[in-house]
Amino acid sequence: MTDKYDLLVIGGGSGGLAAAQRAAEYGAKVAVVEGGRLGGTCVNVGCVPKKVMWTAASLAHSLHHAADYGFNIELKSYDWGGFKTRRDAYITRLNGIYARNLSNKSVEHLDGWASFTGPNEVKVGERQLVADKILVATGGRPWVPDIPGAGLGIDSDGFFALEAQPKKVALIGSGYIAVELAGVLRGLGSEVHVLVRKDSVLRSFDEMLQKAAIEALEASGVVLHFHAAPNALEQTTAGISVHSAEGQQFEGFDTVIWATGREANIDGLNVSAAGIKTAANNAIPVDDYQCTNVPHIFAVGDVTGRAQLTPVAIAAGRRLSDRVFNGMTGRKLEYHTIPTVVFTHPPTGTVGLTEAQARTEHGAAVKVYRTRFTPMFYALSEERGFCEMKLVVVGDDERIVGCHIFGEGADEMLQGFAVAIRMGATKQNFDDTVAIHPTGAEELVTMR
């Protein structure tokens, strides 16, 4: 027997679930195929457990400064195992909530792995499914280089499975995952080394943010090794050794974590049977409307290789269903001015163009406003944390095209400013806004 659907979603992560539920709200008959835990990378081995761990490390930072505010606290130990149990239980509750949400919207959840058998046909176990529209939302997975001993390391998925806290850990990479996990592990007391292939971290971000992240990491005790491209891992009696192409050797690690990027997760999907074209890292290219080269097959989220962020996948999935199942002609996600935060300690927030991008695009019409200050959190402390901000403006009206923040509260304050910038706010609009004092955010409306 063949089951027929209006929309078949392959992948139960953020983008797939958002599209499925929105389509069902419009009356479509929808099924979601997912053989793993509902929620995808973000809920299970990404944003959510990462933020929980970031919070734990932030609490450790606050406890370190408790004496500055008159508290007499002795921090005896950290219970990694107990924390992991509570964190995992929270994720399990979220998995159940996602399942109930699908049920409440009459979306069928097929527990299994999908494989195309034709342009409109998909096989899941023994079931053959046919759909008018198919959405591929299978996400991404960690990429690990093919070098000798690579299996001695774990990837970011493996990090969340650790039952005990690493004592001495090497993180290999320079992007979101590397700097976030470095901050978490160091904040909780591990000795942390980060091996960076080139000369900076977060290289796609504004240069100010790159330098700020490096300064904060080093101030926390993280050891950064630049121009260190691993070409082999080796198990020794002293632990895991990492050899670099530059001839260096880093020794004595009990844990090595690969944070070297991600690739599209399409293994076993048999996309060729549907005629779907793929690109670098197995990504499925799409047009502005999330369409693949096969007109009735769409893709959203990390599997497309574009702006690999959970809210992007959700927004793209919902807009797709708005257009396809509710007649909202022209409805699509605009992939620009997307705010994002890296949960370093403190957070790194950015929206719009970097200064370099703006100068390439607008030349001499670019002007930059910048500030650096010590947040009031450190007013009574001998240690001096810092916050840095930059506004990138263009033209005589000084329209703001980029906003970059490094410091306490960057994750929360950026959202509102992103709305203003997307609406075309100018520097004068910011200047005319009354500041909230005393806050860090007020610096964005008082820069000169």
Residue numbers annotated as active site: 437
168-172 vs 387-394, strand pairing mode? unpaired
Closest of 408, 283, 404 to residue 340, by C-alpha: 404
With beta carbons less than 8 A apart as the criterion, state whether 344 and 213 touch.
yes
Token output for 169: 């850990």
Backbone φ and ψ of 27, nearest 5°? 95, 5
Distance CA 215, CA 60 (A): 19
Distance CA 325, CA 6 (A): 9
Closest of 162, 191, 195, 197 to residue 53, by C-alpha: 162
223-225 vs 191-195, strand pairing mode? parallel
